[in-house]
A and B are shown apart, each in its own frame.
Chain A
Amino acid sequence: MNTDTSGPPPDRETGSGAGLLRVHPDGTASPGSRIFGLVLVVAIGLFLALALAISPPDSGSQASENEMGEMVRIMYIHVPVANACYLAFLVTAVGSAMYLWKKTEGWDLLAAASAEVGVLFTALTLITGSIWGHIAWGTWWEWDARLTSTLLMLVVYLGYLALRRAVLDPVVRAKRAAIVGLIAFANVPIVHYSVNWWRSLHQQSTISRFDPTIDGLKLLALLFGMLVGVALYVWLMIHRFRLQYAEAQLESKGLDVALAERRAEAAADGAPRGGSLVGPKGTN
Chain B
Amino acid sequence: MALLLASQPNEWAYVASAYGIVIAAIAIYAAWTIVRGRKVGRQVPPERRRWM
Contacts and interface: CB of A to CB of B under 8 A. Distances in A.
B16 to A, nearest CB: 9
B50 to A, nearest CB: 8
Interface magnitude class on chain B: 35 or more
A26 interface: yes
A123 B29 CA distance: 13
A78 B29 CA distance: 18
9 contacts: A11-B52, A30-B51, A71-B11, A73-B19, A77-B18, A127-B21, A131-B14, A239-B30, A240-B33
Interface string A117-128: 100100110011
B46 A9 contact: yes
Given A120-B25, A127-B21, A131-B14, 20 more contacts: A27-B37, A28-B38, A28-B41, A29-B34, A63-B2, A68-B5, A71-B14, A73-B19, A74-B15, A77-B18, A120-B26, A120-B29, A123-B25, A131-B17, A135-B8, A232-B26, A236-B29, A240-B33, A243-B40, A250-B43
Contacts of A70: 11-12, 15
A12 interface: yes
Given A28-B51, A136-B4, A124 B34 contact: no
List the 4 shortest-distance A-B pairs measured between CB atoms, nearest first. A28-B37, A26-B41, A67-B2, A70-B11
Interface magnitude class on chain A: 35 or more
Given A28-B41, A239-B30, A246 B1 contact: no
A247 interface: yes
Interface of B: 1-2, 4-6, 8, 11-12, 14-15, 17-19, 21-22, 25-26, 29-30, 33-34, 36-44, 46, 48-52
A245 B36 CA distance: 12
A283 B37 CA distance: 61
A219 B33 CA distance: 33
A28 B19 contact: no
